Amino acid sequence: MEEELPLFYGESGKPVRATLSSLKMLDVGKWPIFSLCSEEELQLIRQACVFGSAGNEVLYTTVNDEIFVLGTNCSGCLGLGDVQSTIEPRRLDSLSGKKIACLSYGSGPHIVLATTEGEVFTWGHNAYSQLGNGTTNHGLVPCHISTNLSNKQVIEVACGSYHSLVLTADGEVFAWGYNNSGQVGSGSTANQPIPRRVTGCLQNKVVMNIACGQMCSMAVVDTGEVYVWGYNGNGQLGLGSSGNQPTPCRVAALQGIRVQRVACGYAHTLVLTDEGQVYAWGANSYGQLGTGNKSNQSYPTPVVVEKDRCEHFRSSLEDNEDDIVEMSEFSYPVYRAFLEYLYTDSISLSPEEAVGLLDLATFYRENRLKKLCQQTIKQGICEENAIALLSAAVKYDAQDLEDFCFRFCINHLTVVTQTSGFAEMDHDLLKNFISKASRVGAFKN
C-alpha cells in the first residue's frame, strides 16, 4: 500500500492529496519556483505546498523530515524571521522535528499549519489577529498557538483573507481573526484575538470538514448538514438572502441531502454530496458556479456535469460492438484529433484532415464533432481544395457544409474549374454540380 501523505493547501484553500509514489514520479523541477534548485535537492522533496498571490512561495518537506522554504517572502510568510526573499532553499529550523499534517494560506497573507501531532503554528500578517496569538504584531516565525487548544488535536485548518479556522479530532471548530461580517461565528463583529470555539448551532454537532471564503466560514457535520456564517453579500452562504450571518446557520435548502465536503472560493461555495452530486452558490461573474450563466445564486444550485464524453463513447461501443472501427483505417492526425475531442471537446487540424475526422464522426454519430469538423473545413476552404471538400460534404450528408462549399465554388468558378480536383471529379457529382450551377445562373453570358 502506498504511504498516504498529508493534505497541503494552496492559495485557493483547496486540498491536494498526494502519495509518496506519485510525488516521486512528478518532476517538480519543471515548477518555476524550483527552477534554481539542484537535481540533488529536487530528489529529496517529499511534500510541497506552493502558495502566495502568484505561486511564488513554497514550503516543502524532505525524505529526512526537514522543512525548507524559498520564494518572495511576502509579509514574512516563509517564517524565516525576516522579509528577505530567497532563491535558494532555507531550512525552517523553528519547525525542526515536526511533521506537517495540513497547511492553509490566507491571502492577507498569513499561514496556519497543523502537525501530525495536532499542534497549530501560525505566522505572517496579523493586523486583524488572524494568527490567534493574542496580538496584532506581524509574525515572522511560526508561533505555537495553544490558547484553548492545548488539549486538542487539530486535524484540519482553513484560512479566509484575515480569519482562521481549525477543526479538532473530536469535531469542534475554533475560529479567530477578522470579524467585521461575523466570520468567526461569535455572534458579534468584534475581532477575535485568540481561538474560541464556534458554538451556537454547532454546540452539540460533530464537524467533519471546514472551509473559508474571503470573509465567510463553512462546516459540514457528521449528519451531512452544512452550517455557514459570515459575509453573504454575494449569496455565498446559500441561505437565499444577502444578509450577513454572525453565528452558524444550517443551509436549509440542502435538507435531505448528505454533504461530504465543502470548498470555498473568494466569494462562492461548492459542496459534494455522498451521491457524487455537486451544488454551487454565491458569486458567479466569471461563470465559476458552472450553472451555464453568470448570475449569482443565493441558494444551492445543482451543477449539471455533462457525462464524460469518453465514457459515453465507450458505452456506445459496448452497446453495439459491430460498430467498432479499427483506428488504423485513419491517419494519425485524425486519430489524434479524435482523442483530443474526447478529452477536451475541441479539435485542431487541417481542413483536409478534418474530412477524415468527419468520416469518423459520421460513423459514430457524434453530431457535435461533425459540426466542429464542418467549421474547420469552412475556415480552410480555398480554390484548390473546394471540390474535394464539396465531395466530402456530399458523401457524409453534411448539408450545411455542402451548401457552403457549393457557394464557394460558384463564387470562384473560373479558378475552381481549372483545378485538378475538378478534372478528377466523380461523374455523378460533376453532373449534379453542373445542373445545380446552371439553375443558379452560373453559366449565363
Residue 310: per-residue pLDDT: 57
Residue ending a domain, choose from 343, 365, 380: 380
User: Counting beta carbons within 10 angstroms of the beta carbon of residue 381, is it exposed (0 to 12), middle (13 to 18) or buried (19 or more)?
Assistant: buried
Domain enclosing residue 322, as ranges? 309-380
Per the prediction, the chain carries an average pLDDT of 86
The pLDDT-based confidence of 261 (bands split at 50, 70, 90) is very high
Q: What is the mean pLDDT of residues 340-362?
A: 81
* DSSP symbol at 54: T
**CATH no. for residue 167?**
2.130.10.30
Q: Is 262 helix (H, G, I), strand (E, B) or coil?
A: strand
**Do 281 and 156 belong to one domain?**
no
Give the residue, 445 or 339, on which the prediction is more confident. 339
| Beta-carbon count within 10 A of 33 CB | 21
Please check whether residues 39 and 98 belong to one and the same domain. yes
pLDDT tens per residue across span 308-323: 555 555 555 555 555 4
Give bridge partners of residue 269 from the DSSP assignment. 264, 281
What's the pLDDT score for residue 356?
Answer: 83
Residue-wise pLDDT for 173-199, tens only, equals 999 999 999 999 999 999 999 999 999
How confident is the model over 21-38, as pLDDT tens digits? Answer: 334 445 677 788 888 888
For residues 61-67, give the mean pLDDT.
90
User: What would the mean pLDDT of 340-347 be, rounded to a whole number?
Assistant: 77
Instruction: Inform me whether the pLDDT recorded for 240 exceeds 90.
Output: yes
Domain-embedded: residue 369: yes
Residue of 11, 147, 123 whose CA lies nearest to 67:
123
Q: What is the pTM of this model?
A: 0.68
H-type helices in 261-385, by residue range? 309-319, 332-344, 351-363, 367-379
Handedness of CA 77, 79, 83, 89 (dihedral sign): negative
427: Cβ–Cβ under 8 A, 6 or more apart, which residues? none
Rounded Cα distance, 211 and 232, in Å: 15
Residue at which a domain ends, from 348, 380, 412: 380
**pLDDT (average), residues 168-172:** 97
Q: What is the pLDDT of residues 370-407, one digit of tens each?
A: 888 888 888 889 999 999 899 988 888 888 889 999 99
Domain boundary, last residue among 305, 337, 364: 305
Supply the DSSP string of 175-208, one letter for each residue: EEE--TTSTT-SSS-S-EEEEEE--GGGTT--EE
How far is 408 from 378, CA to CA, in rounded Å? 10
Whether residues 46 and 193 share a domain: the answer is yes
The pLDDT of residue 253 is above 90: yes
Strand residues in 128-258 grouped as ranges (E): 139-144, 154-159, 163-168, 173-177, 192-197, 207-212, 216-221, 226-230, 245-250
Q: What whole-number distance in Å separates Cα of residue 265 and Cα of residue 276?
A: 20
Question: Strand order of the sheet with strand 110-115?
Answer: 100-106, 110-115, 120-124, 139-144
